[in-house]
Amino acid sequence: MYMNFWYPVVRSEDLGTTPQKVRILAHDFVVFRDEQGKPAVLSDTCVHRGASLSGGKCKEDGTVQCPYHGWRFNRDGVCTRIPSIGKATKPPPRARVDAYPVEEKYGILFAFLGDLPADQRPPIMPVDEHGTDAWRSTLVVFEINYHYERSIENGLDPAHNEYVHPTHGYQGEREDTYLMTELRPHQNNPWGYGFLSTFDAPPLKNPIMRQFRKEGGKMEAGSGTYGPNHMWTYINFSPKTAMHQYMFEAPIDENRTRVFLLNQRNIGFFKNSKMGAIGRLIKPRINAWLDKKINERNMFIASQDIKVMNNVKPTLTPPSRAKELMMPADKVILQYRDKLDEFEARGWKLDMAAVRAAREQGDVIFAIPSPARRETNAWVLDEAPRLAPRASAPQATLQAAGG
């Protein structure tokens, strides 16, 4: 798992002035809105006696109050009040917790979990369709019981669709036409790689989905990444109909992942236009019903992946690529792993073995370092341990069967 990237924390509509605990990167955070509605994400451990700030409450001065001794921390993580020393006494400089940059986009609250200054941070994956009249947006959040890298690599795997998703192929019954050897590069960027491919697909039987593809034949689809945990998937049913999906994944720990699935579609809804009173009443309801059906369909497709992925072994990506026999269709998966190696070479990979060992011992708690740690050494909690940077040669060009 990697720090110094943007991670989805919670749906914007689900966040209010009641503190919530969210676990990401195997660390706990408290998230809340102040009285002005501004969101905050802080390390969840009070530096006094280790209480969970998320068990406290938000106060009228925009702070979160610790449930144990009433210490108050503002959106910047600075302690503004320690009741036991009186209002006239200023809290000491080390009375602070890590506070993380936040941004709300696409109906999601993101937090930058790392210490990079603003001009050096990788971006949140762009979603150009979002908020435009030509595209309709829905958002679902769900959890899976496997490592996020396995989830991302499943999305980057074009060859699995034929066998895992019956509506995406012919279950291997047309082996004379089923090939996945041509992956066209698409939307490559400094933080990841992507591809598009063309394949045969059957007609869609679902009456709602038939709006996207009424006949069988050639269809274009592909996926790509931005950083370790953002992935796009384009499903172009025809030159004019498409569904574009964006997955923002938050690793809860090494065995669980929280997925924010943002779906964009350019058909299957009533677009904004001049309408009478009846239209203004009926069309939003129909759109909401269609949104629900689209989300149900997406979760059904996801369940097909989850069924297979729950039984993939080993549960984590093998450290040696010689322990998997890769094919040409796996090239973008290898490119993804190359990017992860680059992030490790920058010193951004967390040392999860050290984190686990400390927790088993029971007397150490870490915090993901925030940008403020570059400004002062006045901290109580130690930074989460990271692996020492190491260089590695790119592996994506390995021969398919000889890697």
DSSP 8-state secondary structure symbol assigned to residue 119: G
What's the CA gap between 241 and 265, in Å, rounded? Answer: 8
Q: Per the structure block, which two tokens stand in for 262?
A: 């943002």
Q: What are phi and psi of 33, to 5 degrees?
A: -110, 145
pLDDT of residue 218: 77
- The pLDDT assigned to 38 comes to 96
Q: State the Cα–Cα distance between residues 145 and 275, nearest whole angstrom.
A: 46
Same topology, domains 5-120 and 136-332? Answer is: no
Do you find a cis peptide bond into 314, omega within 30 degrees of 0? Answer: yes
Which neighbouring-strand residues pair with 5? 113
The pLDDT of residue 254 is 93
- DSSP reduced 3-state for 245: strand
Residue 69: which residues within 8 A CB-CB, separation 6 or more? 46, 48, 49, 51, 82, 83, 84
Q: Would you say the C-alpha torsion 358, 382, 254, 346 has a positive or negative sign?
A: negative
Contact 21, 30 (CB under 8 A): yes
DSSP secondary structure string, 218-244?
EEEEEEEEETTTEEEEEEESSSS-EEE
Number of H helices, E strands in the chain: 5, 19
Per-residue pLDDT of the chain (403 residues; tens, 9 = 90+): 999 999 999 999 999 999 999 999 999 999 999 989 999 999 999 999 999 999 999 999 999 999 999 999 999 999 999 999 999 999 999 999 999 999 999 999 999 999 999 999 999 999 999 999 999 999 999 999 999 999 999 999 988 887 887 766 555 555 665 666 688 999 999 999 999 988 777 766 666 665 666 566 678 899 999 999 999 999 998 888 899 999 999 999 999 999 999 999 998 887 766 566 656 678 888 889 999 999 999 999 999 999 999 999 999 999 888 899 999 889 999 999 999 999 999 999 999 999 999 989 988 999 999 999 999 999 999 999 999 987 655 555 444 433 3
DSSP single-letter state for residue 5 = E
Tokens of 261: 């699935």
DSSP, residue by residue, 139-189: EEEEEESS-HHHHHHHHT-GGGHHHH-GGGS-TTS-TTT------EE-S-B
User: What ranges do the domains of the chain cover?
Assistant: 5-120, 136-332
CA angle 215, 216, 219 (to 5 degrees): 110
Q: What is the pLDDT of residue 403?
A: 37
Closest Cα partner for 112 from 250, 273, 295?
250
Among 268, 287, 264, which residue's Cα sits nearest to residue 132?
264
Superfamily of domain 136-332: Naphthalene 1,2-dioxygenase Alpha Subunit; Chain A, domain 1 (3.90.380.10)
Would you state the pLDDT for residue 32? 97
**What are 53's two structure tokens?**
């700030």
Instruction: Please tell me whether the peptide bond between 67 and the residue prior to it is cis, using omega within 30 degrees of 0.
Output: no
* Residue pointed to by tokens 């497709």: 301
Helical H runs in 8-54? Answer: none
pLDDT of residue 212: 65
Q: Which amino acid is at 85?
A: I
Q: Which fold is adopted by the domain 5-120?
A: Rieske Iron-sulfur Protein (2.102.10)
- Residue with token string 């762009």: 126
Task: Report the DSSP beta bridge partners of residue 383.
Answer: 367
Residue 102 to residue 2: CA distance in whole angstroms: 17
d(CA 403, CA 398): 5
Instruction: Supply 51's token pair.
Output: 């209480």
Euclidean distance between CA atoms 201 and 388, whole angstroms: 46
* Cα separation, 49 vs 69, whole angstroms: 9
